[in-house]
Structure 1
Amino acid sequence: MGYALKILNVFLLASLKYFWTPPYVKILKLEFWETFLAVEAGGILGFIFYYYLSGIIIHKILEHLPKLYCCTPATFKRRMEIWLDQFKERRRNRRKFTRRNKFIVRTRMKYGMWGIIILTPILLSIPLGAFLGKKYYERKRRFLPLMLFSIFLWGIISFILFYEFPFIFR
């Protein structure tokens, strides 16, 4: 039972932070092919799950927000307006962009869809890449197959790096 839980753990980790799963597998000392398949399946199925979940969340929020605001009691609306004013004031006083936000915006502006496809498995996380892909490239038919191919290809590259050249990461 312990081995199956380790494989499940690898599968779930691959669906969140894909590139760092092979070193984790190396630490656990699991079988190569079973973990390779678990990592690939976790990355691909995790991306598909987060991609469609992001679409549901984005569309449902945009769909129900006006209806929700119309039905809200006046006292709650006043409290909400006070809270929004305080929130806007706090936002004015904080840093506008974090390093990660700047990186995401720069990648999208400079490299577009290809930058997100290439960088999602290694630098961005699978859920973040799925959300960005659904938000910005939902209408591009090529995005989903190219992203799945990128995840598969980066899985092969990362396993080669971490298994064939382990001295690089010491």
Structure 2
Amino acid sequence: MWTYLSFALFSSWKFMFTPLAGPAAGLTFWETFIACSIGGYISATLFYFGSSYFMNLSVERHSKRVKKAKQKGKVIPVKRKFTKTNRNVIKYKQKIGRIFTYWAFPLFLSIPVGTIITAKFYKHYKQTFPLIILFLTIDCFIITGGTYFIKDLVL
């Protein structure tokens, strides 16, 4: 029971690496796959649907810092919105496409960060969340399958 829970909790953050510990914990392929998938699904759901809250929280924190600085008499320069970095982000976003973003960001950046970024860019598309879940399932199957395939080759 605690093993499954620990796998689910760890995979909610570091989804890519959790299935690698399945054979060492004595879990079968399906036990590892299901525990890691459940953790990934819970994390993706929480952070996808809570992304608006987290982004608003970030904006509020920034505005509080600016307000405190102004009260202390510091001059805060206004941030430019159309910067070279923002142009590059938009260029890469258009270049890599939605499908690659749905797959890569939650996998490589971690589920919370990747899901929030994906939601920020593509929440207005209906298929965004189902595709994130689909790609998490496929990735978990591939990573877990590869782990147990290599384990069987070695042992």
- Shorter-chain TM-score bucket reads 0.7 to 0.9
Deviating runs (4+, > 4 A) in structure 1?
Answer: 60-66, 104-107
Q: Is the 8 A contact 2:32 2:144 kept in 1?
A: no
What is residue 74 of structure 2 aligned with on the other side? 81
Give the Cα–Cα distance (whole angstroms) in 1 for the partners of residues 124 and 151 of structure 2. Answer: 40
Q: Summarize the alignment of residues 75-154 of structure 1 with structure 2, pairs less than 5 Å apart.
A: 77-79=70-72, 81=74, 108-154=93-139
Distance 1:21 1:78, change over 3 A: same
Residue pairs, 1:9-88, within 5 angstroms: 9-59=6-56, 61-62=58-59, 77-79=70-72, 81=74
Instruction: Point out the structure with the larger helix share.
Output: 1
Question: CA separation of 1:119/1:78 partners in 2, compared to 1, >3 Å: closer, same or farther?
Answer: same
Asked if the contact 1:121–1:150 (Cα under 8 Å) also holds between the matched residues in 2, the reply is: no
Percent identity over paired residues: 24
Q: Which runs of 5+ in 1 are unaligned?
A: 89-95
Look up the equivalent residue of 1:10 and give its one-letter code. Answer: F
Alignment-mate amino acid for residue 31 of structure 2: E
Q: Aligned in 2, Cα 1:150/1:31: closer, same or farther, shift over 3 Å? A: same
Code of the aligned partner of 1:27: A
- CA gap of 1:105–1:119, structure 2 versus 1, over 3 A, is farther
Shift of 1:129: 1.3
Number of aligned positions between the proteins: 147
Give the distance between the partners of 1:6 and 1:105, measured in 2 at CA: 42
**TM-score normalised to the size of structure 1?**
0.69
Aligned 8 A contact 2:12 2:42 in 1 = yes
Unpaired runs of at least 5, structure 2: none
